[in-house]
């Protein structure tokens, strides 16, 4: 009798266990999901940082990548002190998963490549990569103020990715009030404490790094949660975000035209945050450059979603756009990961770094250190490319680039 009563329970227990096993097998062998664990910790300044002294792996059908964080949570195998050595130029990079080099090895990251290339060009240079997956421009501004400036940068490089605008809204750290950028929340740490606590358990780390089903569920739930938070924040903010007038100078009033409709609130906020990052950088004697990472499309057909002013310019910001170069690459040489999270491939990173190095050298961004007091001025140097030495990189012959499309 007892055995007969237990049978359905045993069948149910077996059914559940088997279902989990079968789903895991399906995901491994038929439709693998990218396994991309993310270990983040809380900081005293209210935004997420990478867990220090951590080594883990990203496994996707396209790559197997080692992620190594140093004691400050920077993706690097060496320690970087705040005080820089004499004669060394520093680039502080702010960004998200593109900046931290998801889905590429450390030596393939575009930030590693520009460091190497600048060294080869004779500039003693160090890149301090403060990127954290999930950061938007709002968090990047806080990271720069609280951490980045301690490194005494000569150049602040913002790795602007297409989802930054949504991230800015989602984090709800800043908003535009009567055209002024106002900090409305002191922290944005979504699920960070629980992530931090769970990461201390080995079983959780095993699930994160080895279990397809866990990655699948987490990714699905994460996407839903992110969409919900974005929806709620958008519905709350839509009436208060107005035309931006930024401390670093007025943003041209939105103009409706056939070619360029007016900026939407998220674009206005992104521009205001970038201009604030620029203001902070200039105030500390560093120049600022924005890398506009194009949005991944079908094949290599990337799109540029960076907001431009009515004249088609960049609100006075210095922006490097690799998109034109991307367009020349044939589809059989992918620039983005197709089976992972659509980050740049090593080739995409090489092209991005080529473009950045050309721009940095052409405009001598690391040569003309500004005086820290030159608040609000811009240290732009626009040499004539015909007469000034463009250097090796500007000719594009250091990188073994893909063949252009026929």
Task: Catalog residues that contact other proteins under the rule CB under 8 A.
Answer: 15, 18-19, 22-23, 26-27, 30-31, 33, 216, 220, 232, 235-236
Give the nearer residue to other proteins in terms of CB position, either 124 or 237: 237
- Smallest distance from the beta carbon of 372 to other proteins, in angstroms? 45
- Smallest distance from the beta carbon of 132 to other proteins, in angstroms? 27
Rg (CA), the chain: 23
At 197, list the tokens. Answer: 């606590």
Give the nearer residue to other proteins in terms of CB position, either 33 or 158: 33
- The secondary structure of residue 201, as a DSSP letter, is S
Give the nearer residue to other proteins in terms of CB position, either 82 or 231: 231
Give the nearer residue to other proteins in terms of CB position, either 151 or 216: 216
Q: Are strands 49-50 and 64-69 parallel, antiparallel or unpaired?
A: unpaired
3-state secondary structure of 249: strand
- Smallest distance from the beta carbon of 158 to other proteins, in angstroms? 29
Helix (H) or strand (E) holding 125: strand 125-129
Say which residue the tokens 């290339």 belong to.
117
Please tell me the distance from the alpha carbon of residue 332 to that of residue 297, in angstroms, as a whole number. Answer: 14
- Smallest distance from the beta carbon of 37 to other proteins, in angstroms? 20
Give the nearer residue to other proteins in terms of CB position, either 228 or 374: 228
Dihedral of alpha carbons 112, 62, 195, 170, sign: positive
Please tell me the distance from the alpha carbon of residue 176 to that of residue 69, in angstroms, as a whole number. Answer: 35
- For 183, phi and psi rounded to 5 degrees? -85, 120
- Smallest distance from the beta carbon of 97 to other proteins, in angstroms? 19
Longest dimension (CA), the chain: 96
For residue 58, list its beta bridge partners: 65
Contacts of 65 (CB under 8 A, 6+ apart): 57, 58, 102, 103, 104, 105
Say which residue the tokens 């329970």 belong to.
9
Please tell me the distance from the alpha carbon of residue 272 to that of residue 241, in angstroms, as a whole number. Answer: 12
Please tell me the distance from the alpha carbon of residue 317 to that of residue 325, in angstroms, as a whole number. Answer: 20
- Smallest distance from the beta carbon of 332 to other proteins, in angstroms? 12
Please tell me the distance from the alpha carbon of residue 59 to that of residue 39, in angstroms, as a whole number. Answer: 15
- The secondary structure of residue 72, as a DSSP letter, is T
Give the nearer residue to other proteins in terms of CB position, either 39 or 216: 216
- Smallest distance from the beta carbon of 220 to other proteins, in angstroms? 8
End-to-end CA distance of the chain, in Å?
77
- Smallest distance from the beta carbon of 33 to other proteins, in angstroms? 8
Give the nearer residue to other proteins in terms of CB position, either 224 or 313: 224
- Smallest distance from the beta carbon of 22 to other proteins, in angstroms? 5
3-state secondary structure of 91: strand
Say which residue the tokens 């491939």 belong to.
345
Give the nearer residue to other proteins in terms of CB position, either 218 or 362: 218
- Smallest distance from the beta carbon of 201 to other proteins, in angstroms? 27
Give the nearer residue to other proteins in terms of CB position, either 19 or 178: 19
| Residue whose C-alpha is closest to residue 39's, from 169, 207, 180 | 207
Helix (H) or strand (E) holding 13: helix 2-29
Give the nearer residue to other proteins in terms of CB position, either 339 or 401: 339
């Amino acid at each position: 009798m007892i055995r007969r009563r237990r049978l359905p329970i045993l069948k149910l227990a077996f059914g559940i266990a088997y279902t989990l096993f079968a789903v895991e097998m399906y995901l491994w062998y038929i439709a693998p999901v990218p396994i991309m664990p993310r270990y983040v910790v809380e900081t005293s300044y209210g935004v997420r940082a990478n867990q220090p002294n951590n080594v883990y792996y990203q496994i996707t059908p396209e790559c197997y990548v080692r992620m190594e964080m140093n004691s400050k949570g920077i993706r690097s195998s060496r320690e970087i002190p705040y005080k820089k050595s004499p004669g060394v130029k520093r680039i502080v990079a702010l960004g998200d998963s593109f900046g931290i080099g998801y889905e590429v090895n450390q030596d393939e990251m575009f930030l590693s490549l520009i460091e190497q290339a600048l060294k080869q060009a004779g500039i003693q240079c160090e890149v301090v990569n403060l990127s954290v997956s999930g950061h938007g421009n709002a968090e990047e501004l806080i990271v720069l103020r609280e951490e980045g400036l301690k490194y005494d940068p000569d150049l602040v490089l913002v790795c602007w990715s297409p989802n930054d605008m949504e991230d800015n809204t989602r984090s709800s750290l800043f908003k535009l009030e009567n055209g002024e950028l106002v900090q409305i929340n002191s922290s944005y740490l979504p699920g960070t404490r629980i992530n931090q606590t769970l990461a201390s358990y080995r079983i959780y780390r095993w699930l994160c790094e080895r279990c397809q089903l866990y990655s699948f569920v987490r990714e699905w739930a994460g996407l839903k949660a992110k969409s919900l938070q974005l929806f709620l924040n958008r519905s709350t903010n839509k009436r208060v975000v107005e035309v931006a007038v930024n401390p670093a100078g007025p943003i041209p009033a939105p103009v409706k035209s056939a070619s360029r409709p007016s900026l939407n609130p998220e674009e206005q906020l992104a521009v205001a945050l970038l201009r604030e990052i620029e203001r902070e950088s200039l105030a500390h004697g560093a120049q600022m450059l924005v890398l506009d990472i194009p949005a991944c499309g079908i094949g290599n057909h990337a799109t540029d979603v960076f907001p431009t002013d009515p004249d088609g310019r960049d609100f006075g910001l210095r922006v490097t756009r690799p998109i034109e170069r991307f367009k020349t690459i044939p589809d059989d040489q992918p620039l983005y990961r197709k089976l992972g999270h659509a980050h740049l491939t090593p080739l995409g990173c090489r092209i991005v770094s080529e473009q950045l190095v050309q721009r940095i050298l052409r405009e001598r961004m690391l040569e003309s250190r500004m005086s820290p007091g030159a608040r609000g001025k811009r240290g732009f140097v626009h040499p004539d490319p015909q007469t000034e030495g463009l250097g090796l990189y500007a000719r594009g012959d250091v990188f073994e680039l893909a063949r252009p499309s026929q």
